[in-house]
Amino acid sequence: MESFEVILKPICLVILIVLCLHAMPSSCNFTSFVFGDSLVDAGNNDYIFTLSKADSPPYGIDFTPSGGQPTGRFTNGRTIADIVGQSLGAKSFPPPYLAPNTEALAILRGINYASGASGIMDKTGFFFIGRIPLGEQVSNFEQNRIYMVNAMGENYTRKFLKKAIFSLTIGSNDVLNYIQPSIPFLRHDKVSPTTFLDFMISNLTLQLERLHEMGARKFIVVGVGPLGCIPFVRALKLLRSGQCSSAVNALIQAYNQRLKELLSRLNQEMGPETIFVFANSYDVFMDIIANYHQYGLENANDPCCGGYFPPFVCFKSSDANTSALCDDRSKYVFWDAYHPTEAANLIIAKQLVDGDESVSFPINIRKLCNYNNS
């Protein structure tokens, strides 16, 4: 019986994919392959030895599918990737790559390869010990692609991947590592900001080209947000409440400009069959911080969980009379010292899905979903 099931499963998958590829050719295909860091990690770090984990309460306290239990997401509820998928009609979330038995789900639901503490560059996040750098995430997708080809052949795999959406939300940890003071016994001379940005862009370009060679045609690449305003950096730079580090934000804006130019060049070289969308999360998040009351929020400075000072640990207090949480999570911009709340993620995701060219360029994510589906 077991051997029969092994034979039957790929056959059923092939039939299902063939039907999906031929039915409603103009409809939006929201199969999603998610790459990135803790902003979109759906639980991969739960399966590795790392100091970067979100596997204990109160993380996930507002994540309805888990009943408020931690899933490895670094926020109180859904990530931006989760919300974007739902906005496009997805009924479930892509599972983490390292979860058991995800090969078949790569075809049916997509896969989440993201890893907390990871970066564009391999060495980023090494203080956290375990993490899955972007290059390794792309290699993991390559393994899933081998399974797809074995299940339904090269031609159908390419047709399937042509309609899928590949999102990359990464680069924040590279910047955070760069701006932090060097540890004396591990000291390395820092390269200049220009050279650092060169490294980020060249490494990212390599991974985008790898994905393109494997059949990816629809890309969302999210710029780095205003890290100079997150509670961790404010504390690191000894800034007063409400202040942001202009130097950190200037570095990020320079990177985002380089990233936008890169994606425009790739669109010229690889389009129109391939399209790269630049998601301008920086301006969206800065507007939330500057005008949080207009969005129904009440606090854009403090983390809801974990406190404003080192070690910034967000945990569930064992004392019933005290709480590590704010009174109303829906009113805070920041969940912990590094990550947005679900409330902020909802605002950002809505802008990226349906916003104008100032937010998503050259088209928004909803238009990307329907792009070149025939």
| Distances, alpha carbon 362 to alpha carbons 254, 283, 355, 365, in Å | 19, 16, 11, 10
Q: What is the pLDDT of residue 7?
A: 44
- Please report, for the domain that includes residue 43, its CATH number: 3.40.50.1110
In a domain, 112, yes or no: yes
Residue 207 has pLDDT above 60, yes or no: yes
Q: What is the pLDDT of residue 241?
A: 84
Q: What is the pLDDT of residue 199?
A: 98
In a domain, 39, yes or no: yes
The C-alpha atoms of residue 301 and residue 289 are separated, in whole angstroms, by: 8
Pick the more confident residue, 331 or 26.
Answer: 331
364, 352 Cβ separation under 8 angstroms: yes
In a domain, 18, yes or no: no
Query: Catalytic site residues?
Result: 38, 336, 339
Which of 247, 257, 246, 248 is closest to 200 using CA atoms? Answer: 257
Q: What is the pLDDT of residue 23?
A: 43
- DSSP-assigned letter for residue 325: B
In a domain, 6, yes or no: no
Q: What is the mean pLDDT of residues 6-23?
A: 49
Per-residue pLDDT tens over the stretch 125-149: 998 999 999 999 999 999 999 999 9
The C-alpha atoms of residue 117 and residue 232 are separated, in whole angstroms, by: 14
Q: What is the pLDDT of residue 2?
A: 45
Choice among 83-92, 212-221, 253-262 with the minimum mean pLDDT: 83-92
In a domain, 7, yes or no: no
Which of 279, 265, 288 is closest to 224 using CA atoms? Answer: 279
Query: Does residue 221 sit in helix, strand or coil?
Result: strand
Q: What is the mean pLDDT of residues 138-161?
A: 95
Q: What is the pLDDT of residue 319?
A: 59
Residue 92 has pLDDT above 80, yes or no: yes
Q: What is the pLDDT of residue 316?
A: 75
The C-alpha atoms of residue 113 and residue 40 are separated, in whole angstroms, by: 9
Q: Which residues contact 92 (CB under 8 A, 6 or more apart)?
A: 109
Q: Bridge-partner residues for 305, per DSSP? A: 325
Count up the domains in the chain and report the number. 1
In a domain, 9, yes or no: no
| pLDDT-based confidence at residue 119 (cuts at 50, 70, 90) | very high
In a domain, 146, yes or no: yes
Q: What is the pLDDT of residue 183?
A: 60
Q: What is the pLDDT of residue 285?
A: 98
79, 26 Cβ separation under 8 angstroms: no
Range of the domain at 237: 26-370
Per-residue pLDDT tens over the stretch 26-80: 446 679 999 999 999 999 999 999 999 999 999 999 999 999 999 999 999 999 9
Per-residue pLDDT tens over the stretch 251-292: 999 999 999 999 999 999 998 999 999 999 999 999 999 999
330, 298 Cβ separation under 8 angstroms: no
In a domain, 17, yes or no: no
* DSSP result, 157-201: HHHHHHHSEEEEE--HHHHHHHHSPPPGGG--PPPPHHHHHHHHH
* DSSP result, 100-162: TT-HHHHHHTEEE---TT--SSTTTTGGGS----HHHHHHHHHHHHHHHHHHHHHHHHHHHHH
